[in-house]
Amino acid sequence: MTELATPPRPRREFRNINAFTDLTTYRLPPAGLVSILHRVSGVLMFLLLPFIIWMFDTSLSSDYSFARFKGAFNVGIGFVPGWFFKLVALALIWAYLHHFIAGLRHLWMDVSHAAVTKEFGHSSAVVTLVLSIALTLVLGAKLFGLY
Amino acid sequence: MSVNYGSKRIVVGAHYGLRDWLSQRITGGLMALFTIVLLAQLIFTRGPIGYDLWAGIFAAQWMKVLTFSVIVALLYHVWVGMRDVWMDYVQPVAIRLVLQIFTIVWLVGCAGWAIQVLWKI
């Protein structure tokens, strides 16, 4: 075997990361960020499923329960203040928007060969992040009565 | 899945990858469609959205049928997703099994509740 003219440069080794020491300095590309947030938003909606169905229930069951539904967000229920309900709803709005847009991105990548490139992965991830956060801010402003 | 025994037996992973991958796409697509249908009905109305309008949307039989299939789609979509999460992050078999059982009970319970709400209207 011939010797290499120049010995290869020592490269950084990448192994499984440690959640406590590496996550804080781990730099994810936008596509990686979209991916992990897709998971986070999915788990969040899974855990808040009873709250979502409670909203479905109280808003639909009767005129009276509809008023209770509105009251929960305007004045609160029991010791839980209205702004807390709005905050949870805002988290759900973000989770749904992110999951929705990132999901459409997934579907698009599944049907289009042109979409499976590094460049498209980057640009579509940036679009996903910008769009989901912008729409969350717009709907959040409406939710908290800013307009 | 044609032959899955003898020397052809697949012994690695969850070995139902394609089926679940595809069903997660189909259920996701259905839920996206539902979102657009519901939003369209809310956007193309006049005046404030009160109880009558909101309940009226779900009172239509076709909307009930669509919502019902969306609830079932959600059940399976979330099961595949949460099972992936547990498989990725939880290695001890006992804890993983407990979490998977919790997921199933949680999801079936929620789906039952949602379906009950749907048919009260």
Query: Hey, are the CB atoms on B35 and A100 less than 8 Å from each other?
Result: yes
CA distance A70 to chain B (A): 10
Residue spans of the domains in chain A: they are 30-143
pLDDT, position A74: 94
CA distance A85 to B27: 29
Q: SS3 of A2, please? A: coil
Under 8 Å CB pairs connecting chains A and B tally to 55
Residue length of chain A? 147
CB-based contacts of A120: which residues, under 8 Å, 6+ apart?
A109, A114
Q: What integer pLDDT is reported at residue A126 of this predicted model?
A: 97
State whether B117 and A110 contact (CB < 8 Å).
Answer: no
Instruction: Judge whether A30 and A123 are in contact, CB under 8 Å.
Output: no
CATH number of B112's domain: 1.20.1300.10
Do the domain assignments include residue B4? no
Residue B8: inside a domain:
no
pLDDT band at A14 (very low <50, low <70, confident <90, very high): low
What whole-number distance in Å separates Cα of residue A33 and Cα of residue A44?
16
Mind listing the pLDDT tens digit for each residue in B48-101?
889 999 999 999 999 999 999 999 999 999 999 999 999 999 989 999 999 999
Q: Is any Cβ of chain B less than 8 angstroms from the Cβ of A43?
A: yes
Q: Do A49 and B51 touch (CB under 8 A)?
A: no
Distance of alpha carbon A115 from its chain centroid, rounded?
A: 21
Q: State pLDDT tens for residues A16-57.
A: 777 788 777 778 899 999 999 999 999 999 999 999 999 999
**Partner residues linked to A80 by β-bridges:** A77
Determine the Cα–Cα distance for residues B118 and B57; give it in Å rounded to an integer.
Answer: 11
Does B13 reside within a domain?
A: no
- Residue B1 domain flag: no
Residue B15, marked binder: no
Q: Does residue B83 lie within any of the structural domains?
A: yes
Domain count, chain B: 1
Q: Which residue has the tokens 């939710």?
A: A143
Q: Which residues of B47-80 are buried (b: 16+ CB within 10 A; e: fewer)?
A: eeeebeebbebbeeeebeebbeebbebbbbbbbb
Domain that holds residue B109: 24-118
Q: A28 near A36, Cβ under 8 Å?
A: yes
CATH architecture of A30-143: Up-down Bundle (1.20)
Question: How many Å apart are CA B104 and CA B98, to the nearest integer?
Answer: 10
The structure tokens listed for B46 are 């006049």
Predicted ipTM?
A: 0.87
